[in-house]
Amino acid sequence: MRKTLIISVGGSISPVICSIRYHMPENVIFFTSTETEAQVTEILRQIESSSIRQIEKIVTTSPEDINICLRAILARLPNLLTRWKVNQDEIIVDFTGGTKSMSSALVLGTITYTRCFSYIGGKERNKDGIGVVVDGKEKTLTLRNPWDELAVEEKKKALLLFNAGRYMAAKEAIQAALDKVSAKEKPFLRTIQRLIEAYYFWDAFKYENAKRELDRVKSELSGCISLLPDDHKLISLLEKVKENGSFLEQILKNGGFSSEEFELLDLLANAKRRGQVENRYDDAIVRIYRAIEKRGQIELKRYGLDASDIDEQKLPENIRKEIKSKYLSGDKNRIKVPLYAAFQIIRAKEAEAGQRSIGHKFFDDYENLIKPILDFRNSSIIVHGYNPLDKDKYERAWQYCLKFLEIEENSLPEFPRLDL
């Protein structure tokens, strides 16, 4: 692997020489002050390394001012690394030399570019053991990747985003951590990333993709729990993943009314997330409207009717002419009915059979439950209106919908809340 060493230079050149000899880099960037810049020539003379191919210097004019030091690094370092085409795994940063401000600035300015820091220490120091390392007694220390600790905050950020319904942003936050942590830290983060992606797919109604990823997550979480059998948060998360996976299986069953009933429940759960998690009330009410429409489509199928292509011969005689005259598409020569007409047909079919069910309930509840939802939806700025909807309208539409459909809120699928 081609190594690039970024190293600060102070009053003593011995630690710098020790670090270069230890790491044997191909590229070296010396971070110096104007006072120590001349040291670089002597360092290169003493190491006589044939492995070094490229050398650059970053010079700060004020070694005691951390801001000026950091500014000098950020002004040149990104372009140098781009030109040399090196990645994080190839970069070592040694912050031993220079002032405390130079060392601090070097760490701050390179933390997004490297996974490896180095420091020259030793067992023998002058000034009764509290001064600098005695020349010839240096020892190179390679430090643990700081991103293994910093990634904890990245992970927290990702979990907060997930719990707020911002699934793609959460996935990107986890990816940012994955790009920086050590290899041993990656497997669990990849599992969390896959879990986030699974629910992103689910939220977008991509059920097959969601089920595939959840199955992988279930297996990986089981492996984690085998190593951490007392981690109750992981155990709880696995149980929720299993529960959600079972729900997806019901949706993915081929055909039948059961599958569509589960789709209806999921559509309502999606509306709930838009309204109660993201505060996107217009989107929520549009989904609530769609849930009522879908219920009508499901009921029509029970009578062998397709809302997008009604067989007029199956329509009750007393409404056949009206439905055909209003909803026959001239260009496609088929009858396609909207929500209101779908429930007209359902009510007529129920009357033929001497029944009173959802079709009659639609019109019994129309003024109190259904019409307000339709009015809210039609007044939304994303449908026909001019103003965004508010929380009050969403909450009313939500309760009206559940009451009309006779669905308990606790029957809806819930995504997990991540707290790991």
Q: How many C-beta atoms lie closer than 10 Å to residue 116's C-beta?
A: 20
Residue with token string 């994955």: 178
Q: What is the mean pLDDT of the chain?
A: 90
Considering the entire predicted model, what is its pTM?
0.75
Comparing C-alpha atoms, which of 228, 159, 171 is closest to residue 419? Answer: 159
Q: Flag whether pLDDT at 295 surpasses 80.
A: yes
More confident residue, 111 or 79: 79
Q: What is the pLDDT of residue 244?
A: 97
**Structural domains present in the chain:** 4-143 (3.40.50.10770), 153-411 (no CATH)
Cα–Cα distance, 301 to 320 (Å, whole number): 17
* pLDDT confidence of residue 307: 95
- Fill in the amino acid letter for 404: F
Tell me, what's the pLDDT at 125? 41
Angle in degrees, 0-180, between the axes of helices 186-203 and 147-163, rounded to the nearest 10: 20
Q: So what's the pLDDT on residue 256? A: 62
pLDDT of residue 134: 44
Decide if pLDDT at 178 tops 80.
Answer: yes
Amino acid residing at 320: R
Residue 47: the pLDDT is 87
Residue 37 CB neighbour total at 10 angstroms: 15
Kindly calculate the radius of gyration of the chain based on its CA atoms and give it in whole angstroms. 33
Percentage of the chain beyond pLDDT 70 is 91
Q: Compute the distance between CA of residue 64 and CA of residue 54 in angstroms, rounded to an integer.
A: 28
Residues in the chain: 420
Q: Are 11 and 36 in contact (CB under 8 A)?
A: yes
Q: Is the pLDDT of residue 213 over 50?
A: yes
CA atoms of 68 and 102, how far apart (whole Å) = 9
Tokens coding 384: 């026909």
Task: Give me the percent of the chain exceeding a pLDDT of 90.
Answer: 73
249 bridge partner residues: none
Q: For CA atoms 385, 390, 394, 395, give the dihedral sign.
A: negative
The larger pLDDT score, comparing residue 62 to residue 132, is at 62
Give the other-Cβ count within 10 Å of 310's Cβ.
23
Answer whether 38's CB lies under 8 Å from 11's CB: no
Alpha carbons 350 and 413: distance in angstroms, whole number: 31
CA-CA distances (angstroms) from residue 246 to 215, 239, 241, 311? 10, 11, 9, 36
Residue 12 dihedral angles phi and psi, to the nearest 5°: -105, 135
Q: Specify the pLDDT at position 258.
A: 83
pLDDT at residue 271 in the model: 98
Start-to-end CA span in the chain (Å): 35
Nearest to 53 by CA among 9, 2, 112: 2
Residue 403, token pair as written in the block: 């009451």
CA distances in angstroms from 162 to 19, 197, 274, 279, listed in the order given: 43, 10, 13, 15
DSSP state for residue 387 in the 8-state scheme: B
Lowest mean pLDDT among 144-158, 201-215, 248-262, 293-307: 144-158
pLDDT surpasses 80 at 180: no
User: pLDDT (tens digit, 9 = 90+) per residue, 117-176?
Assistant: 888 874 544 434 333 444 445 566 766 667 676 677 788 899 999 999 999 999 999 998
Q: What is the pLDDT of residues 220-272, one digit of tens each?
A: 999 989 888 888 999 999 999 999 999 999 999 876 668 999 999 999 999 99
Can you give the pLDDT at residue 420? 77
Among 17-21, 345-349, 355-359, where is mean pLDDT lowest?
17-21
pLDDT of res. 145: 67
Confidence of residue 64 (pLDDT cuts 50, 70, 90): very high
For residue 19, the tally of other CB atoms under 10 A from its CB is 23
For residue 30, pLDDT beyond 70: yes
**CA-to-CA distance for 182 and 144, rounded, in angstroms?**
9
Distance CA 366, CA 359 (A): 11
Q: What is the pLDDT of residue 126?
A: 42
pLDDT reported for residue 139 = 62
Give yes or no for a contact between 303 and 314, defined as CB atoms under 8 angstroms apart: yes
pLDDT grade, residue 88 (50/70/90)? confident
- Confidence (pLDDT) at 109: 92
What would the mean pLDDT of 50-54 be, rounded to a whole number? 85
Given a cut of 90, is residue 51 above it in pLDDT? no
Rounded distance, CA 396 to CA 384, Å? 20
Task: Give the model's pLDDT for residue 140.
Answer: 67
